């Protein structure tokens, strides 16, 4: 009789499909928003503000607008020219804060140099701050109050819970301590009862720290910095990094063609990890889906309605 050879998981089996998970989440948000409209007459509304002509930002804003409309929400995009004064931008924010049909406000970063980004972000009503960058929302997250949670960490934790179930007691190491990814990710994992370490550019012996991690989150912005031998066998790796590097094909690279890679050397890491998010197609699609989730939740709270659970 032929012996059964156990199926060793391939890189494909190990890759966490953020694109598929995000599509499912957007479907659930679409259904929940339709019910909010049918039962309470409320259509969630998201306003996106972009200042200047940065091509990457223009693409992000267009994608956000299209996805918002597909989810059955109201989508307003305010395109301001690069010379817009800070006072005019703040006046627009005040107008959006006062608009009862707008539940979420997102100001696309980066803003032109003459505008103080912090002053603009802090002018957004915290309850409409669907990016979760307002200092009030950072504080709410830190003390465990309901607020708006930054989209990328929120989406990353959803993927982790889907891959691992209960995260209690696991060692999580986050490389990166930015206000938009590293720090909120640490708060969210602490709330999931992980033991959390935050590493950064001054951390000593980063490879040894990473090898302690059951969950390793890379949010550094350095292409493929985290190598396979930094990873504990069986760990789950969340690669938040988005880095544009020259094409792997030297001819295409000479023509200026590029490709996107994460902060983790994917193939090496996938050989050791149990699960890993690819770049692209891992965390990236979750960010925009969580923006819609936050807009739906903001619309519910503004109207005294309990949001439906959006978990799978």
Residue among 63 and 201 whose Cβ is closer to ligand NDP: 201
**56-to-52, 61, 108, 135 alpha-carbon distances in Å:** 11, 9, 11, 26
For residue 121, the minimal CB distance to ligand NDP (Å) is 14
User: Contact between 283 and ligand NDP (CB under 6 A)?
Assistant: yes
Q: Which residues of 247-275 are buried (b: 16+ CB within 10 A; e: fewer)?
A: eeeeeeeeeeeeeebbbbbbebbbebbbb
Residue among 147 and 282 whose Cβ is closer to ligand NDP: 282
Residue among 36 and 276 whose Cβ is closer to ligand NDP: 276
User: Contact between 241 and ligand NDP (CB under 6 A)?
Assistant: yes
**Residue with tokens 């696991």, as numbered in its chain:** 170
User: Contact between 219 and ligand NDP (CB under 6 A)?
Assistant: yes
Specify whether the backbone of 304 is left (phi greater than 0), alpha (psi in -120 to 50) or beta.
left
Neighbours of 157 (CB within 10 A): 24
User: Contact between 201 and ligand NDP (CB under 6 A)?
Assistant: yes
Tokens read off for 38: 């049918």
For residue 253, the minimal CB distance to ligand NDP (Å) is 20
Residue among 96 and 283 whose Cβ is closer to ligand NDP: 283
Q: Which residues are catalytic?
A: 64, 108, 131
User: How many residues can be counted in the chain?
Assistant: 312
CA-CA distance, 237 to 49, in Å (whole number)?
33
User: Contact between 152 and ligand NDP (CB under 6 A)?
Assistant: yes
Q: Which residues bind ligand NDP (CB under 6 A)?
A: 152, 175-178, 180-182, 199-203, 206, 219-222, 240-243, 283-284, 287
């Amino acid at each position: 009789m032929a012996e059964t050879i156990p199926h060793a998981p391939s890189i494909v089996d190990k890759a966490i499909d953020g694109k598929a998970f995000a599509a499912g989440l957007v479907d659930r948000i679409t259904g929940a928003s339709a019910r909010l409209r049918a039962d309470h007459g409320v259509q969630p509304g998201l306003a996106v503000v972009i200042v200047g002509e940065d091509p990457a930002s223009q693409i992000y804003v267009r994608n956000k607008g299209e996805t918002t409309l597909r989810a059955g929400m109201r989508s307003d995009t305010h395109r301001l020219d690069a010379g817009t004064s800070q006072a005019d931008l703040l006046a627009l924010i005040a107008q959006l804060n006062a608009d009862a049909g707008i539940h979420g406000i997102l100001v696309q970063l980066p803003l032109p140099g003459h505008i103080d980004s912090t002053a603009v972000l802090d002018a957004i009503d915290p309850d409409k701050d669907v990016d979760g960058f307002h200092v009030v929302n950072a504080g709410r997250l830190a003390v465990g109050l309901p607020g708006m949670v930054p989209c990328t960490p929120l989406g990353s934790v959803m993927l982790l819970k889907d891959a691992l179930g209960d995260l209690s007691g696991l060692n999580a190491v986050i490389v990166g301590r930015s206000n938009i990814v590293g720090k909120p990710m640490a708060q969210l994992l602490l709330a999931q009862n992980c033991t959390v370490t935050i590493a950064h550019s001054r951390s000593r012996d980063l490879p040894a720290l990473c090898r302690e991690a059951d969950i390793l989150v890379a949010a550094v912005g350095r292409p493929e910095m985290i190598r396979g031998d930094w990873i504990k066998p069986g760990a789950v790796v969340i690669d938040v990094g988005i880095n544009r590097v020259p094409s792997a094909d030297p001819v295409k690279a000479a023509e200026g063609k590029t490709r996107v890679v994460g902060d983790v050397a994917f193939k090496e890491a996938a050989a050791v990890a149990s699960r890993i998010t690819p770049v692209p197609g891992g965390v990236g699609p979750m960010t925009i889906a969580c923006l819609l989730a936050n807009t739906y939740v903001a619309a519910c709270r503004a109207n005294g309605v309990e949001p439906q659970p959006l978990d799978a």
